[in-house]
Structure 1
Amino acid sequence: MREIPDWVELLFSLTSLIFAVQLALIFLLSSRYSDPSTNVIPLSPSAKGFKTAAVVPVYGEDENVFERVIAKLTKLFDRVIVVGDGVSEPYRSIALAHGAEFYSVPRSGKRGALEYGVSLLRDEKYVALVDSDTEVPDETYWKSLAVLESGYDALTVRIMYKGDNLTARAQDFLGYYNDVLNRAFARLGKVYVLNGQFSVYRAEKLREIIAGLSSRKLLGRLIVVGDDKELTSRAHRAGLRLAYLSSAEAVTYGAGSLITAIKQLLRWTRSGYLYLFLDLVSLNYRRGFLYYIAGVVSVLYPIFGALVTALGLTYPHHHQMLIHLNDPFLWLVREWTKELLAITVGLPNEPRLFVVFVHERFVNNLTLLIAKALKLAADLLTALATLGFVMQVLPKAREDPKGAVVSLGLLGIQGLLSIYSLITLYRVSSWLTRDQEPEKRSE
């Protein structure tokens, strides 16, 4: 009878344990996070003493949403630079009506629009990169500037999602999971990602790291996806001092449908893997050990999980109940069914008595003994870390239980997308320059 190779079981158990350790580390680090804004002197308009700018790339945004965003930004920033990515009206008229500047460039993607907008900076000390559908509250603006004035070079904030449909509410709930992850990285002086929706930089530092952003190539093709991940990687490599403000938020519009949300998740997952591999190849050690642990586990866990599951359904091991402690009942049902089939149709029959296979297949097999011990430790540690996460997001779950349930579904979908992304990563040239169709969103 064919069985799951022992080394596969062992590697999966080891990966499970590393995954559990990573979860526990994230929980413990996030619990010890200290928001940088609590230790700085608040700023006010009268005491600012420097200029700020916002660069806003736009392509296909709903004009009502765009107008609300620009109207708010022009009240906060000294200068608002809107760059149309191959588009002009109605965005030009809206921007000019609210006192913003508007420039149109040939269609080249968000990277080109960002790089062009930053090239127009003059004597501004700080510059924010803002999505055309992201609203920035007054408190976030002033808090961000105060933190940068304390010595940081760039920062990002918590992203909240706006919308009444279940998909948008689920995305908003996922923001709480991301907040836990970001707080853990911030505890180590790192940033997981400088969000593309809203991040603020010291202008001189941004000029240095954004140079050549729109001309970055891989396999001979321009990279369009993952502009925020590219800037994050460059910021770490340049040794910039980065911050994450959990107490400040920017509000963006959630996906209008589940299909749109899944496409976003697939795009983000692919670009995440792409930049993980690029960081590994370039030896960008400044990203920190937690980034690489989380990244490598995110690659190995789906692969070995899918492999063990697939093999377990077709060629189950005698010791499956010992390794997979979460489904002993299903294991017994499967084994008893096979016994009945063996009796009725004359299939090859092997001893299935518990004492026999424990003695022959487990006690005398060091590989399986180690695998079982690792899997047990992983299960226990994962359970404890998960409980900690649940306690942190429980207040939000009580406010919106339906959104919480759907967000768990999105997490499950993201797990499947991880496998799909890894399988199709070799076709990277086919999605590096994805066609960007305008997604019209309304309030």
Structure 2
Amino acid sequence: MIYLLIYAVLIASTVVSFIYYVVNSYWSIRYSKEIRNNNVDLSEVTIAIPVYNEDPEIFKECIDSVKKQGCTFLVVGDSSLEPYKTIVEERGGKFVFMKEHGGKKKAMQEEMKYVKTQFVVLMDSDTILPDNAVANMLSHFDDKVGGVGANIGIKRTGSPVSYCSEFVERSREVVFRAMSAHGSVMNLDGACSTYRTELIRSFIMSNEFLGINRKGKTNVLGEDWLLTGCVIKNGYLAVKDYDTRVESYPPKDLGKFVKQNIRWSRSGWRRFGKELTNGTAAKAGKFYTFELVYTYMLPIIALAFILLRGYHFLEINASYLASFNVLGIFTARHFVHVGFFLYSRIGMEFVDLFGTGIFVMGIVDRIRTERLKTLAYGAVAMAIIFATTIYGLATYWKTSNWLSR
């Protein structure tokens, strides 16, 4: 009975995984979105950036790209004064100094005190914008849209981590394009997203945004997850502008990449539970809910699949040995038993590999250069994400003063 139950779980997980991979690949290819509004007013946009001990050269590259957008911009120095103040003011921006280090969320609260425009672009101090990025994102707003995220690309630094990060972003792009075909995406990335100012202002200024609990501690729920949830809960769409590809610098080494994904995993698990219970997922629709549930359940299913397949393999071998009678004759009954499960397992493996292959092809199609190298390092990235997702689930209850990147 247990054996049949395990077998049924294997079949079910194989079928659902196949559907997940094929559906995302199909809708990712099918999705296309035309620019909604060409008459954008850049005077109604403020770009807001927190900075904390950023590499000055990277920060200068960021601000140079911001200046080219043609709109107001301000930077909050989170206990970081020079050379950031000079870099910003020489390029016509406003610099606000926070003497004590408060972290990214506190810096964002400070930003919102100075934003007076209808729209605000929230971005990181290591993000590089292409020309007309803000105008392009702004053109996607209509009465139904509350936030527009840029498509995130990774700066090619030549390090293995840059290829790992690029593969991860392209895999997310496949999933998010599929979600875009049905409504809101799961996340507007903190590296660069544009919002209706009054939609998010009061939320950013709240203790809920900081994640402060009754004991005064802060949890690990990321600001980008929170803001995306705020947009959807208020009845607006959270969409992506895939044609506006900004560049973000990757973690400096593999250790930082692992730590980054542990933080994201813990934040994601908290967000997963929150959205299922507070009605955000239901409001975003059935396809959004399916993507949310299966994206987070996929590593758990994969782990269970590995364990069950191991048990399945041992059972097959045990059944094979038991199939010989005392004379060493292989009985017909056991032949049917072993043969059925052996060939059906081969069939499951084929279906699983076929679905995964389609999904990987969708990812490769989104990689612009050095595809083979990115794909090779992508395998390493997927292994790390698998491990950190499981670890994040096991430790998601931990709280820390995680207010900075």
Give your verdict on TM over 0.5.
yes
Q: TM-score range by the shorter chain?
A: 0.7 to 0.9
- CA-CA distance at 1:317 after TM superposition: 4.7
Matched residue, 1:346: none
Q: How many Å separate the matches in 1 of 2:253 and 2:393?
A: 25
Distance 1:206 1:308, change over 3 A: closer
Distance 1:354 1:63, change over 3 A: farther
Match for 1:178 among 172, 183, 192? 172
Deviates more, 1:299-308 or 1:134-143: 299-308
Task: Within 5 Å, give how 1:149-228 maps onto structure 2.
Answer: 152-162=145-155, 163-212=157-206, 213-218=208-213, 220=215, 221-228=217-224
Identity of aligned residues (%): 21
Question: Relative contact order (alpha carbons < 8 A, sep ≥ 6): 1 or 2 greater?
Answer: 1
TM-score of the two chains, using structure 2 as the length reference: 0.85
Unaligned regions of 5+ residues in structure 1, if any? 320-330, 344-348, 439-443
Match for 1:244 among 224, 231, 240? 240
Deviations 1:184-208 (A, max 9, x none): 1111111121110000112222224
- CA-CA distance at 1:316 after TM superposition: 4.8
Aligned length: 399
Report the 3-state secondary structure (helix = DSSP H, G, I; strand = E; otherwise coil) of the residue aligned with 1:147: coil
Deviates more, 1:386-395 or 1:354-363: 354-363
Task: Verify the 8 A CA contact 2:25 2:362 in the aligned structure 1.
Answer: no
**Which has more radius of gyration?**
1
2:402 matched to 1:409?
no
Deviations 1:198-233 (A, max 9, x none): 001122222244341543235742235411011111
- CA-CA distance at 1:354 after TM superposition: 7.9
TM-score of the two chains, using structure 1 as the length reference: 0.78
Task: Verify the 8 A CA contact 2:164 2:377 in the aligned structure 1.
Answer: yes
2:274 matched to 1:306?
no
Deviations 1:32-89 (A, max 9, x none): 211242x54365xxxx374310110111210111122123313425321211223323
Match for 1:356 among 333, 355, 358? 333
2:72 matched to 1:79?
yes
User: Quick one: which amino acid aligns to residue 111 of structure 2?
Assistant: G
Distance 1:230 1:378, change over 3 A: farther
Task: Within 5 Å, give how 1:1-400 maps onto structure 2.
Answer: 5-37=3-35, 39-41=36-38, 43=40, 48=41, 50-105=43-98, 106-122=100-116, 124-148=117-141, 152-162=145-155, 163-212=157-206, 213-218=208-213, 220=215, 221-284=217-280, 285-307=282-304, 309-310=306-307, 313=310, 316-319=313-316, 353=330, 355-357=332-334, 359=336, 376=347, 379-380=350-351, 383-384=354-355, 386-387=357-358, 389-390=360-361, 393-394=364-365, 396=367, 399-400=370-371
Deviates more, 1:410-419 or 1:204-213: 204-213
Task: Verify the 8 A CA contact 2:43 2:72 in the aligned structure 1.
Answer: no
RMSD: 3.6
